[in-house]
Amino acid sequence: MTTSLFDLKGKTAIVTGGGSGLGRDIAKVFAEYGANVAICSRKLENCQDTATEIENEYGVKTMAYECDVSQEEHVKRIVESVIADFGQIDILVNNSGATWGEKVEDMPLAAWNKVFDVNVTGTFLMSREVGKNMISNGSGKIINIGSVAGMKAESGEVLNAIGYSSSKAAVHHFTRDLAKKWAEHDINVNAIAPGFFETKMTRGVLEKSGDKIRNNNPMKRLGDPDSLKGIALFLASNASSFITGQIIAVDGGSSL
């Protein structure tokens, strides 16, 4: 009975930014529990490598797509392709993200816009297009990847990326608002707010302030590849059927 709560067999998940990092980890755990997986990002080669690895390891249907989530026509085309290839979309993970490290007084407008275009507009566009299919099917699970940076302000010594933190706060509120609006369609919308994980995006920050970040964390460590898998599986499965509009921090207590 417990296993069936987390069973994703027969489901199709689309994971943006799924070719590497946290998105790759999420795509793999979905496949481990039986879901077919569509992986998309701007770097098709990464997606193809991950799709091949997942298909060989878990035997589920996995396909790779090139998509810039900030571009409306890209999103429409990819969602149409995934529906044509898989039949429907049951789970969406909005994981594609961008950041820009700079002092506020020196941050270019183009950098601010780039971060918001990917993190906020991309989340909106993917949710809108996939949501049409979910509304038609009468159910769905949307998981947005926010950040602890969108829950609390950090000193410039730790994180100087106001565009990123502001965009993730916007993702959190988008999650709550959309959850309330689409609850009538039996679509659960939740967000995961990771703390500091060792990824390509955080490499520069961790090289500069890694020891301080670890020491300030109640658990005295960073997130590892397995730290996000459980909550992603939970939010994608029937185990979370009565949970919506929640922002769940996975951060070792750093947001406390």
Is 164 in the active site? yes
* CA atoms of 143 and 127, how far apart (whole Å): 10
Contacts of 40 (CB under 8 A, 6+ apart): 14, 15, 16, 18, 47, 64, 65, 66, 67, 69, 78, 82
Q: Which helix (H) or strand (E) holds 241?
A: none
**Facing residues of 13 across strands?**
37, 91
* CA atoms of 128 and 63, how far apart (whole Å): 21
Q: Are 68 and 74 in contact (CB under 8 A)?
A: yes
Across the chain, the runs of DSSP E, i.e. the strands, are 12-16, 36-41, 62-66, 91-94, 140-145, 187-194, 247-250
* CA atoms of 62 and 204, how far apart (whole Å): 32
Catalytic residues: 164
